[in-house]
Copies of this chain bind each other. A is one copy, B any other.
Amino acid sequence: MENLFYAVRCASVLALAFAVIFYRQMKKEDEGTPTMRQIAQYVREGAMAYLTQQYKIVLRVFIVLAIFFAILAYGFGVQNPWVPFAFLTGGLFSGIAGFIGMKTATFASGRTANACRRSLNSGLKVAFRSGAVMGLTVVGLGLLDISLWFIILNACVTEATLAQKLVVITTTMLTFGMGASTQALFARVGGGIYTKAADVGADIVGKVESDLPEDDPRNPATIADNVGDNVGDVAGMGADLYESYCGSILSTMALGASAFYAVSPEMQMKAILAPMLIAAVGVLLSVLSIFTVRTKEGAGMSQLLKSMSFGTNLAAILSGVATFGILALVFGTGDNRWWQLSCSVLSGLIAGVVIGKATEYYTSHSYRPTQKLAESSQTGPATVIISGVGLGMLSTAIPVIAIVVAIVLSYLFAIGFDVKNMMDAANLSQGLYGVAIAAVGMLSTLGITLATDAYGPIADNAGGNAQMSELEPQVRERTDVLDALGNTTAATGKGFAIGSAALTALALLASYIEEIKIAIGRTAGALINGVDAASASILDVLEEFNVSLMNPAVLAGVFIGSMMAFLFCGLTMNAVGRAASKMVVEVRRQFREIKGILTGEGTPDYKRCVEISTKAAQYEMLLPSIIAILVPVATGVVLGVAGVLGLLIGGLGAGFVLAVFMANSGGAWDNAKKYVEEGHFGGKNSDCHHATVVGDTVGDPFKDTSGPSLNILIKLMSMVSIVMAGLTVGFHLL
């Protein structure tokens, strides 16, 4: 058992070691011509300046929250003394993951452009290996933090029994998840607003009004746009997936400790170890598969795609197979648990694949939906928007069905299909453990899926660099191929990310109830539903707090939760709208006031545009993020435990569906535009093209700001509720 824990730490070190190796390899590449270096330098400086600013603001929020937690913990004793530290650490490591990813990306994009001058394969290698740096950093840091905290808390926490101690340790570690989620939300929202303000602004004045191509150096917002890709799509995504990865493992650990509380401390240990070990093996498989991604010289797009899909599919299949082995090793083959739980993991994996395929079907222009969307451009921008909204809404059906099937199956497998007693106390918590571990399975090969995701923006930026440095058109074509490929492989990644978010959020619901038990248990001799707090089941807690579906507090919570998803999106959408307007006004001003920009004789004031995006993003990210933290607390105080559970369930249901809708509408608009640009319906600069550009512009905040932030929102609200459970139990109106 000790050895297996050791293996987890080894895996994390291995991941980080390979991240360093790939980083060094990338750094050895040549940065190209002086212009290329210059532009890469601009982008790097802008990105670093933004990230520094953002982290300063986030740091203040963290300090305020940590002090608040410290008061709750040390002043009122309604919280664990480790909470403030775990919270800060989670935020810190999430920030580091984003920082490293972004630093790598800003060094890599110029080098990718330069490598593309040699060949497509060289470009792929540089971009992909740099994406892998981020992928491996995220999983490496995640596993490292989790195992270190486990060791620390294991050494320091004292409780009456070992069983109780394990429950307290694992739920305390969820605070670490809350830190990661909080920082991820800021990173996603701030980065998302930054990148889309610049992108939308650049597109509207550049493409629509002045017919400039993408990334044209004459467009003053170009540098800001390229900086945006780094702070939004790279740093934001890194923090986001760090949060998802840790969240899924931590929530499974917490559920494992409580599900087997009544069985034995040994079983608890096994249940805690299982998710860590699945993740650790996933790291190994990721590293292995990363090496399989390579192309021959002169490889076409389809071969590239095959090579990359081969890598991710290989990792996923091996991980599915390995799960059976791991769980046999952990739980032993004495009873059926090992293969039953493995089937739970498989259910999750299959759901992830289905969601990914559905995403691809609805958003890739190789399929009918997006082609039809492009067709609707023949009747103008209004029908493009109507059809795109319709498409996105329809596209929610398959992912929801997939996730519903995964939830039910992973639950039923975990309890050995004991349908008749499926809601018995023991079955309930062990079934939910099955749901939670399915999410871990989905994310176990994050190392490589994130690599295929993160290399997209690197290729995108490489294209920007090539365009601005006025390299041969061939280079731009190659980076475009890489970028397009990234969009397709990213679909799979998105499927796993959103699917795992839903499953993790469910697991967190159960953890919330566990934390309620602990909060009550702090008062010595406290009873829950007439049972000693520590031995009370989930159902006891629900009954004690009148958590029934017909409780008006639950129903009120469901309404508020559904509203939160929309409110949050509304705030971020408006933020992008406002910031983009500022950018448009500025770009128009430069075209008007700086002589000769459009003829290429004058130099635009890039810096001013970078400043506008930076300021707007910092200012606008605060309100939505703070609301996300405060509403669960306020709901708890007014509506009590029942209200909070309603809030979380309503937010989960509406948030998941809304996130899929926004991501897919946005993706389809993007690719419909590309489809027209490939020569359909009149091709570039036709009326149809202009109509699809409107769609693409609208889709930008859908898919890159509001949509992905929802994943984090769903989980952050749960984690806030968990951390604040002590307060809710101590004080509530209803």
Report A's interface with B, CB cutoff 8 A: 200, 203-204, 208-209, 376, 378-383, 385-387, 389-397, 400-401, 403-404, 407-408, 411-412, 419, 422-423, 428, 431-432, 435, 502, 506, 509-510, 513, 538-539, 542, 546-556, 558-563, 565-567, 569-571, 573-574, 576-577, 580-581, 584-585, 639, 645-646, 649-650, 652-654, 656-658, 661, 693-694, 697-698, 701, 734
Which of B376, B390, B428, B556 is close to A407, meaning CB atoms less than 8 Å apart? Answer: B556
Q: List 12 A-B contacts (CB under 8 A).
A: A376-B577, A386-B580, A396-B567, A397-B563, A397-B567, A407-B559, A408-B556, A411-B552, A419-B734, A510-B550, A549-B649, A561-B653
Known contacts A404-B556, A550-B513, A697-B382; A566/B393 CB under 8 A: yes
* Chain B residues near A513 (CB-CB < 8 A): 550
Which 9 residue pairs spanning A and B have beta carbons closest together?
A393-B570, A390-B574, A390-B573, A382-B697, A394-B570, A562-B653, A400-B563, A423-B546, A404-B556
Residue of B nearest to A733 (CB): B419
- Interchain CB contact under 8 A, A506 and B657: no
How far, in whole Å, are A539 and B652 apart by their CA atoms in the complex? 25
A393 engages B653 (CB within 8 Å): no
Most buried by B among A412, A422, A432, A554: A422
Q: Which of B435, B554, B581 contacts A552 (CB 8 A)?
A: B435
| Interface of A, helix, strand, loop or mixed by DSSP | helix
Q: Name the distance in Å between A140's Cβ and chain B's nearest Cβ.
A: 33
Complex: chain B residue closest to A505, CB-CB: B555
19 additional contacts (CB under 8 A) given A381-B381, A400-B563, A559-B656: A204-B383, A379-B581, A382-B694, A383-B581, A386-B697, A391-B574, A393-B567, A400-B560, A400-B562, A401-B560, A403-B559, A404-B559, A411-B552, A422-B551, A428-B550, A506-B555, A542-B550, A549-B549, A558-B652
Asked whether A509 lies within 8 Å of B571 as measured between CB atoms, the reply is no
Given that A200-B383, A549-B547, A550-B432 are contacting pairs, would A573 and B389 also be in contact in the complex, using a CB cutoff of 8 Å? yes
With A and B bound together, what is the CA distance between A428 and B652 in angstroms? 26
- The answer to whether B573 touches A200 (Cβ under 8 A) is no
- Cβ–Cβ < 8 Å partners of A411 in chain B: 552
With the chains together, A546 CA to B162 CA distance in Å?
Answer: 32
Q: Which of B396, B538, B574, B734 contacts A394 (CB 8 A)?
A: B574
Residues of B within 8 A of A652 (CB): 558-559
Task: Please report the C-alpha to C-alpha distance between residue A547 and residue B423 in the assembled complex, in whole angstroms.
Answer: 9
Give A574's nearest chain B residue, CB to CB.
B390
Chain B min CB distance to A358 (Å): 13
Contact A422 B734, CB 8 Å, known A200-B383, A697-B382: yes
Docked pose: A552 CA to B573 CA in angstroms: 33
The CA of A654 and the CA of B657, in the complex, are separated in Å by 9
* Cβ–Cβ < 8 Å partners of A538 in chain B: 550
A200-B386, A581-B379 known; A654+B562 contact, CB < 8 A:
yes
A513 to chain B, nearest CB (A): 7
Q: Is the CB of B383 within 8 A of A577?
A: yes
Bound CA–CA A501/B694 (angstroms): 35
Q: Cβ of A383: which chain B residues have Cβ within 8 Å of it?
A: 200, 204, 577, 580-581, 584
CB <8 Å contact, A566 and B645: no
Q: Which residues of B contact A693 (CB under 8 A)?
A: 382
Assuming the A-B contacts A393-B570, A394-B567, A566-B657, are A555 and B382 also in contact, with contact meaning beta carbons closer than 8 angstroms in the complex?
no
A566 to B658, CA, bound (A): 8
C-alpha spacing A563/B546, complex, angstroms: 27
B residues in contact with A510, CB < 8 Å:
550
Distance (Å) between the CB of A445 and the closest chain B CB? 25
Q: Is there contact, CB below 8 Å, between B549 and A656?
A: no
Considering only CB atoms, which chain B residue lies closest to A209 in the complex?
B380
**Interchain CB contact under 8 A, A379 and B204:** yes
* A563 (CB) vs chain B CBs: closest residue: B400
Give A396 to B569 CA distance when docked, in angstroms: 11
Contact of A385 among B539, B569, B698 (CB under 8 A): B698
B386, B549, B701: the one within 8 Å of A573 (CB): B386
Residues of the B chain whose Cβ atoms lie less than 8 Å from the Cβ of A646: 549
Closest beta carbon of chain B to A133's beta carbon, Å: 34
